[in-house]
Amino acid sequence: MSKDRYWRAISIDSISPECFPNVALYLRSGGNYVLYKDPDRMFTIEDHLRLERSRTEFLYVRSGDMDILNEFMENNLTEMLARNDLSSTAKGRILYQTSVNCVIDMFESPETAANLLRCRNMVQHIMQHVATDSHALESLKTVISHNFYIFAHAVQVAALSLLVHEKLFELAPDEMVDVGIGSLIHDYGMTFISSDVLEKNDALSGIEYYIVKQHTQKGYEYLKRCGNYSGVVLNIVRYHHERYDGNGYPTGLKGGDIPRSGQVTAICDVYSALIMDRAHRKARSHADAIKVMREDSKNGAFNPDLFEHFVAIINERQPA
């Protein structure tokens, strides 16, 4: 297991001088973690300015301190997102990093009611952010590079899916929240796959690919047994790898038989996977990702009309 699993990133924008919890903060340098502030010392304005001058965007905390940090971040998130002295990018980093931390806990204990409530609150913040901020997707790029792929990917898929649903469909607020929750935990079934397979740098063998494909059904079955999740959430978890032409998995549903939320998540899932660095390949540009996906759409992967709507929405959010 990588030693990075014992650390969590935190944006310096979210570290409020004089009122930050008493936890140790670390810098990452050359793959090592170096103590920057011990838990007995207050994080000061001078610290903040020093880190800004050195263009340090993230510090790190030990995973064992995350309960304290998560409580602080989530209790103060509304206030931080309302601050006038923070840029849109900074607010996005705070929101997305806090969401990643929440998703990590969700994956560890999805049956815990308190984690589900936290997840609902995160979704509501993400909904508000992507609906009102034209630069909402840009902040994800820096957050993604400081977190494990599966969790950062989950937050990105949720942000994309909420944006698409907000633009294209008139959903009741509760259903929108369920869309967000389903998107955040769409890959929960990956927790049943061994790390040897998930972290493999080479192409998967046939049997390894078969094992990975089971994550949709296994995630669906476990979350259904929990009894806390709606049909919308469960549909996203189960059907986000179905293909419009019926050649997907786990059930081979085709066309309109695939629930709409599953169709949207499938598109967002592939786009996110293409534009993020993976163990076996580098990230593609937005333009390259769309080119690959358009070809896949022509070959039956996606609802063609829904895919073109997705492209139009995402193109609007690209930097000029």
Write the CA distances from 273 to 111, 222, 228, 284, integer angstroms: 27, 24, 28, 9
**Size of the chain, expressed as the number of residues it contains:** 320
> Do 160 and 199 have their domain in common?
yes
Same domain, 105 and 57: no
**pLDDT tops 60 at residue 293:** yes
Can you give the pLDDT at residue 83?
A: 87
Q: 35 and 137 share a domain?
A: no
Three-class secondary structure assignment of 80-117 = HHCCCCCCHHHHHHHHHHHHHHHHHHHHHCCCCHHHHH
Q: By residue range, what is the domain housing residue 15?
A: 1-71
14-42: average pLDDT: 87
Do 165 and 222 reside in the same domain of the chain? yes
pLDDT over 90 (residue 16): no
Residue 81 domain flag: no
According to DSSP, the residues that pair with 8 across neighbouring strands are 61
Per the model's pLDDT, the better-predicted residue between 2 and 157 turns out to be 157
pLDDT in the model for residue 11: 82
Q: How confident is the prediction for the chain on average, in pLDDT?
A: 89
Statement: residue 319 has pLDDT above 90: no
Residues 124 and 65 grouped into a single domain: no
Q: What is the pLDDT of residue 120?
A: 94
Query: Within 13 A of 32's CA, how many CA atoms are on the CB side?
Result: 4
Q: Is residue 232 part of a domain?
A: yes
Residue 77 belongs to a domain: no
Mean pLDDT of 20-47: 90
User: Is 172 found in the same domain as 270?
Assistant: yes
Same domain flag for 252 and 206? yes
pLDDT tens figures, 204-262 = 888 988 999 999 999 999 999 999 999 999 999 999 999 999 999 999 999 999 999 99
Say if strands 32-37 and 25-29 run parallel, antiparallel, or are unpaired.
Answer: antiparallel
pLDDT per residue as tens digits for the range 88-127: 888 888 888 889 889 988 999 999 999 999 999 999 999 9
CB 156, CB 272: distance < 8 Å: yes
Contacts 24+ apart (CB under 8 A), 177-180: 177/120, 177/123, 177/124, 177/127, 178/230, 178/232, 178/233, 179/232, 179/236, 179/261, 179/264, 180/122, 180/123, 180/124, 180/126, 180/127
- CATH number, domain of 179, equals 1.10.3210.10
Considering only the C-alpha atoms of the chain, give the largest distance between any 2 of them, rounded to a whole number of Å.
59
Q: How many domains does the chain have?
A: 2
Note the pLDDT of residue 1: 40
Select the more confidently predicted residue: 138 or 242: 242
Backbone torsions φ then ψ of 194, nearest 5 degrees: -65, 150
Question: Is residue 97 included in any domain, yes or no?
Answer: yes
Are 7 and 61 found together in one domain?
A: yes
SS3 state of residue 170: coil
Q: Are residues 53 and 114 in the same domain?
A: no
Taking only the tens place, the pLDDT of each residue in 41-85 is 989 889 989 999 999 988 999 988 888 888 988 998 998 888 888
pLDDT at 4: 55
